[in-house]
Amino acid sequence: MARYDTIYDKIQELLGCIPGSVSILEQQIDSDVQMEYYNYAQNLKKEFNPEDILKNRNAVFEADQTVEDKKNMMVRLASIDNIEAYRTLEKCTSNMQDHLKDWATLALQESRLLLESRLLDQNRVLISTGLGGKGLKLRYFTVLVSCNSFFTPFQQSVIVKEIRYAVVKVGGEPEDIQFDKELCTVLSIIPLQVAVQQFFDNIIAECNHYGDFIKRDYIITNVKVIPNAELRKMTHSRKKQNPES
């Protein structure tokens, strides 16, 4: 992917998607759980009788069913183009034990896309990340690093104003901005059509007009929120490898 390609451009290039055919998983679900679900679904949905699954669909709520049985049932229901299967999975998202709620959410999303594809007569594409999103926007966790040992109150004020202004201007949502000594962590929702690397490059450049106090290198991910202790290990390790950075 080129330096400033947008995610939406790349999806259209690879899959030929048309506007309105893309959906984003809104919930924040651990990427490992997502990979487990999709691998499980790919390997499981081979041969089964949809009518039997629908007939016995309420078994997924029975206490004597094992976790594996419930996972199996939800994945099979998600592959059936039927509103009753969808309603059952919808009920699962609020009735499953905590460790199966994410699984139920993924199954429900798959079922919804299947129904929408049939009703709209077009293939639907799901974008799922660990941090989720909203509408056609993805949630990003960004970390800015001070050139010094901490951000001053004035620098913090500049960063907050610039980030909020820039995010809202492109139709996004600035959800949370936190400072901890030399770190500034940002949680924001950004539209797919925005090239996020260029976007945050520009924010840093604007802030640095007031004294060149933010390092040009930063961290941005849509996989998870990284704890500050882990961030410091990452930045310190990078500093050892590149003493001049």
Which residues pair with residue 141 across a beta bridge? 187, 221
Name the residue ranges covered by the structural domains of the chain: 30-127, 133-241
For the chain, 245 residues long, the average pLDDT of each consecutive 10-residue run is 55 54 84 90 79 92 92 93 94 90 94 85 78 91 95 97 97 96 96 91 96 94 92 72 54
What's the confidence (pLDDT) of residue 77?
94
Q: In 17-139, which ranges are continuous DSSP H helix?
A: 31-44, 50-55, 67-78, 83-95, 98-120
What's the confidence (pLDDT) of residue 125?
75
Do the Cβ atoms of 204 and 219 come closer than 8 Å? no
What's the confidence (pLDDT) of residue 45?
63
Pairing verdict, β 125-127 and 22-24: parallel
DSSP 167-230: HHHTT-EEEEEEEETTEEEEEEEEETTS-HHHHHHHHHHHHGGGTS-B-S--EEESS-PPPHHH
What's the confidence (pLDDT) of residue 37?
92
What's the confidence (pLDDT) of residue 162?
97
Triad 71, 104, 101: Cα angle to 5°: 100
What's the confidence (pLDDT) of residue 1?
43
What's the confidence (pLDDT) of residue 50?
87
What's the confidence (pLDDT) of residue 3?
54
Helix (H, G, I), strand (E, B) or coil at 86: helix
- Report the candidate in 109, 143, 144 with the shortest Cα–Cα distance to residue 223: 143
CATH 3.30.70.1290 fits 133-241, yes or no: yes
Do the Cβ atoms of 187 and 139 come closer than 8 Å? yes
CA gap 41, 74 in Å, rounded: 10
